Amino acid sequence: MTKNKFISSITILLFSVVSVSCNGEKKAGSEKKEIEIIPEYIVELRADQIKLANIETGTIEFRSLSGTLKVNGTIASAPQNLAMVSMPLGGFVKSTSLMPGNSVNKGQTLAIIENQEFINIQQDYLVAKSKLEYAVADYKRQNELSKNDISSKKNVQLVTAEYKSLKVQVKALEQKLKLIGIDPSKLSDNNIKRSTALVSPISGYVKTVNVSIGKSVSSSDILFEIVNLNKLFVELTLFEKDATKVSKGQEIRFFINNETEQHKAIIYQTAKAIDSDKTYKVYANVQSTCKNVLPGMYVNAIIETSSNKVISVPNEAIVNFESKDYIFAFEKNKMESGKSFTEYRMIQVQKGVTDSGYTEITLPENFNYKTEKIVLKGAYNLLSAKKNAGEMSC
C-alpha cells in the first residue's frame, strides 16, 4: 500500500473519530463533561490506525557516519615552481618569440636584451683581469726579493694591497657578468657583446609575457612569468565551525570552471590559526597533472570528512514541519471509551551528516536517548495525521 493510501486511510479514520466526538458533544447538550485537550506537539492514533500507517518504534543508536564539506578555493603554485623573470640591469628588448601558453625548459632563451652597460662591465672585467695578472707576478717577485732583504717591507705591503684590491675587483665583475648571463671564462677582447640572453630559471609554461621588440625595461620590471604545473596545490577556505572536521591526509575532490571532470588532491597542511574574518585555510597537493588546471583558477571542492560515531536515526524518521526538523517519540498508551490509543510526542532536532540512509541529529538536552523510544518508520504518516487532525477539529 502506498504512502498516499496510508494517509487517506488515516485521514478517514481520524475524521470518524473526530465526527463521533463532535456528535457526542452535541447530544450531550448542556451536560457538563470533562474534555481532554491534546497539546499541539502530541499526536494520538488508535491501534488500527497505527497498524495501517505501518508505524515502527525503536531506540536511537550511535553509528559511524562519514560526510562531506563543500568549500571554495583557488589553485596555487609553490614558490619554487613559479618564476618571475626580470633583467637585473634592464635594457632594450632586441627579440623574443614566446607567447603565453608556450612550454619552456630550464635554461631556454626567453628574450635577447641589449644594454650599453653590458659592454662597460665586460671592458672593466678584461682590464681588471689584465692588471691582476701583472699584480700577481709583481707580488711574487717582491716577496722573493723581501726574503733576500733586497726589497723593503713597504714595497711588499704596497704590492700586496694592490694585488688583493684587483683580485676583489675581478671577482666582483665576474659575478656581475654571471648576473647578466655572460660566462667570464669564455670572455676575451675578441668577443665583447652588447646583448645577452635572458633565460628561464625553471621548466614549465609561460603564464605572462610583458615584452615587445624595442621596449625599454628596467631591473624591476617583470618580463615573463613561468609556472611549473607538476606540483600545484589547492588553497581552500573553510568556516571556523568546520575547522575540526579536516586533517592531514584527507582526500579532496575538486572541479574547475564548472567542468564535470573531477580532480583529486590530498590535504598536506592546515592553518594553525583562524583568520580575522573567521575563516580557516587548508592546503592540498593536486594528485594528477592536467594542462587545464592553472594557478589562480577558482575551484569548487568536496572534502571527505572523517568517520566518527554519532547519534543517528534513519532518514525517514525525520520530518520537516514549518521549516523545522522533528522526530516522533513514544509518549504513552491509554484507553478511551474502551479503545486503545497511543500518543507520540514531536521532538525538534538539528540535522547533521547524512550517510548510507542515516542522519546525525542533535537532540534537546532534556531528552534521554538511552531510554526513549522513537518512531523509526511511518513518521510522515504521523505528521499527516497531525495536520489532518488540526484541520478537522470541532
Per-residue model confidence (pLDDT) at position 306: 60
DSSP 3-state assignment of 283? Answer: strand
Q: Where are the beta strands (DSSP E) in 26-178?
A: 42-46, 56-59, 61-65, 68-77, 82-85, 91-95, 103-104, 109-114
171: cell is: 671577482
Name the stretches of the chain with pLDDT < 50. Answer: 1-32, 391-394
Q: Write down the pTM of the prediction.
A: 0.55
Per-residue model confidence (pLDDT) at position 95: 95
90: amino acid identity, one letter? G
Angle at 180 between CA 174 and CA 185, to 5 degrees: 40
Per-residue model confidence (pLDDT) at position 244: 80
Per-residue model confidence (pLDDT) at position 389: 66
Burial 58-90 (b: 16+ CB within 10 A, else e): eebeebebebebebebebbbeeebbbebbbebe
Q: How far apart are CA 298 and CA 256, in angstroms?
A: 6
Domains, the chain, ranges and CATH?
3-66+309-391 (2.40.420.20), 81-226 (2.40.50.100)
Per-residue model confidence (pLDDT) at position 157: 84
